[in-house]
Structure 1
Amino acid sequence: MKAREELRRGVRAARAGRGPEARAAFRAVLREDPLNETALLWLAYLDDNARASLAYIARVLEAYPRSPRAHAALRWARRRVRVTAPAPPVARGDASPPLEPPQRRREVYRAAVGLAALGALILLTALVGWAVGLPARAESVPLAPASPSPPPPTPTDLPLSAMLSPTASSTFTPSPTPLPPSPTQPPTATPTPTATQPPTLVPVLPTSLPTPVPLSTMGEGRWIDVDLTRQVLVAYENSTPVRTVAVSTGLPYTPTPVGQFRIYVKYVYDDMTGPGYNLPNVPYVMYFHAGYSLHGTYWHSNFGHPMSHGCVNLPTPEAQWLFNWAGVGTLVNIHY
């Protein structure tokens, strides 16, 4: 009963825009019911970190693989990751130099105005001295007032959350079954001014830890073993290996997570976008933890060596075989 009351309180607070209160209420629900779908999806929606949102949704899909709300949330969260990914660096000489910060521009402007005023004063003093020395019949030359320099444009300082908030077309609002939320969309963020240099985001790994799988399940049914040291994937039927494939896993700065996981969703094709890469129509994708997956590869053939941003890259024909062989819920054991 307490969990239901906290859930109602969290939904009311979220709809009213009281994010901290809503998050506290939903976390209280999870202390009593750790797999409460509604609370997890609301926390995914309220979290400012796009990858943390993916971690909440992954927990829902692990518990409810066929949930249509969780699949809709996954599509929404993956669009958020694309929106917040930093733009690739521009080659030298191909673009204008970066804009100076607003504070620096103001300081430069004040210094320039001060120097201009000092120069005008010196010039005025010299001209007055020259005019005094002329004969009385000479006409004094009037000094035209210097035209004031136009003031610099006032930059519009927006908070980071406003610059990176998704538009209404990419917004997902959880719709819990017992307590359907209002169809009102969250307010659309103010457009980012073009004069503001977008910040460079540091990729943040998902904060949730994988749920350990009892070792007794190893060797039972179909399961997948990935050896990061040897860069080899082995598909097992019980304790018998049925397929061995050379793979490419994560690079040192973007490692593949270690542990026991289960495949929670499969796509024949999926788009993958993140810091430094944009890969459309990646074939035979099987997600096993947050945004990490097993999938086919068409952009390299250097298997047997780490090459990825954390996923397990397979040759596309092998990925197709594995996709048809493994189902949702299949154990994936990753180790060194």
Structure 2
Amino acid sequence: MRILVLATITFVTMLLGATGQGWAAGLVARIDISNQTMTVSKQGRVIYTWRVSTARKGYWTPRGTYRPTRLHRMWYSRKYDMSPMPYSVFFRGGYAIHGTGYVKQLGRPASHGCVRLATGNAALFYSLVKQVGRKNTRIVLVN
């Protein structure tokens, strides 16, 4: 019985993390590709909803659930003519959530696959990810 209790405690600790706060304490960015919106929740409560631009015709934005893989305050896309990508939060290979100057396009598909948002909002999201940590952040992309 004692072994079962210890195994259960270990499993729950792994699920929730050392602090015991788990998903509820984390940060979740839910990108709704159909509506071109990103909803940010912290500790299970919605704190922001922003317009975004995802992949335009001929390009693709991945779907699924990811953790951030790397963060860059400023990144330049080698693939697309060194285009600036401020406050980049990469989540799958070269795909990232990042700021853009093309704010008139927000709310409709316009990117090569990344999730674009207003630079101020990207800075805010970037700082939230740094605050809670990559391991406690989830990025969920749905149709």
- Unaligned stretches of 5+ in structure 1? 1-216
Larger fraction in helix: 1
Structure 2 equivalent of residue 230 of structure 1: 35
* Local SS of the residue matching 1:278: coil
Larger fraction in strand: 2
Q: Deviations over 1:171-193 (max 9, x none)?
A: xxxxxxxxxxxxxxxxxxxxxxx
Q: Is residue 250–residue 311 contact of structure 1 (8 Å, CA) maintained in 2? A: yes
Structure 2 equivalent of residue 257 of structure 1: 62
> Which of 316, 325, 334 matches 2:119?
316
Structure 2 equivalent of residue 285 of structure 1: 88
Q: Deviations over 1:244-291 (max 9, x none)?
A: 1000001132111000001011001011132xx324432101100011
Q: In structure 2, what is the Cα distance between the partners aligned to 1:335 and 1:303?
A: 17
Structure 2 equivalent of residue 307 of structure 1: 110
> Which of 271, 282, 302 matches 2:76?
271
Question: Looking at CA atoms only, which structure, 1 or 2, has the larger radius of gyration?
Answer: 1
Give the fraction of aligned pairs with identical amino acids, expressed as a percent: 26
Q: Structure 1 counterpart of 2:94, which letter?
A: G
Structure 2 equivalent of residue 297 of structure 1: 100
Structure 1 equivalent of residue 6 of structure 2: none
* Local SS of the residue matching 2:126: helix
* Local SS of the residue matching 2:105: coil
Structure 2 equivalent of residue 332 of structure 1: 139
Q: Structure 1 counterpart of 2:129, which letter?
A: A
* Local SS of the residue matching 1:263: coil
Q: In structure 2, what is the Cα distance between the partners aligned to 1:238 and 1:289?
A: 24
**1:171-190 correspondence to structure 2 within 5 Å:** none
Q: In structure 2, what is the Cα distance between the partners aligned to 1:318 and 1:219?
A: 22
* Local SS of the residue matching 1:241: strand
Q: Deviations over 1:205-235 (max 9, x none)?
A: xxxxxxxxxxxx7655211110001100011
Indicate the RMSD between aligned Cα atoms, in angstroms: 1.7
What TM-score comes out, normalization by structure 2 length?
A: 0.76
Deviation at 1:320? 0.6
* Local SS of the residue matching 1:244: strand
What TM-score comes out, normalization by structure 1 length?
A: 0.33
**1:156-175 correspondence to structure 2 within 5 Å:** none
Q: Is residue 68–residue 139 contact of structure 2 (8 Å, CA) maintained in 1? A: yes
Q: Structure 1 counterpart of 2:72, which letter?
A: Y
Structure 2 equivalent of residue 244 of structure 1: 49
Q: In structure 1, what is the Cα distance between the partners aligned to 2:104 and 2:94?
A: 22
Q: Structure 2 counterpart of 1:231, which letter?
A: Q
**1:1-336 correspondence to structure 2 within 5 Å:** 219=24, 221-274=26-79, 277-327=80-130, 328-329=134-135, 330-336=137-143
Q: Structure 1 counterpart of 2:95, which letter?
A: Y
Deviation at 1:237? 1.3
- Unaligned stretches of 5+ in structure 2? 1-21
* Local SS of the residue matching 2:50: strand
Query: Which structure has more RCO (C-alpha within 8 Å, separation ≥ 6)?
Result: 2
Q: Is residue 103–residue 117 contact of structure 2 (8 Å, CA) maintained in 1? A: no
Aligned length: 118
Which segment is superposed worse, 318-327 or 277-286?
Answer: 277-286
Q: Structure 2 counterpart of 1:234, which letter?
A: T
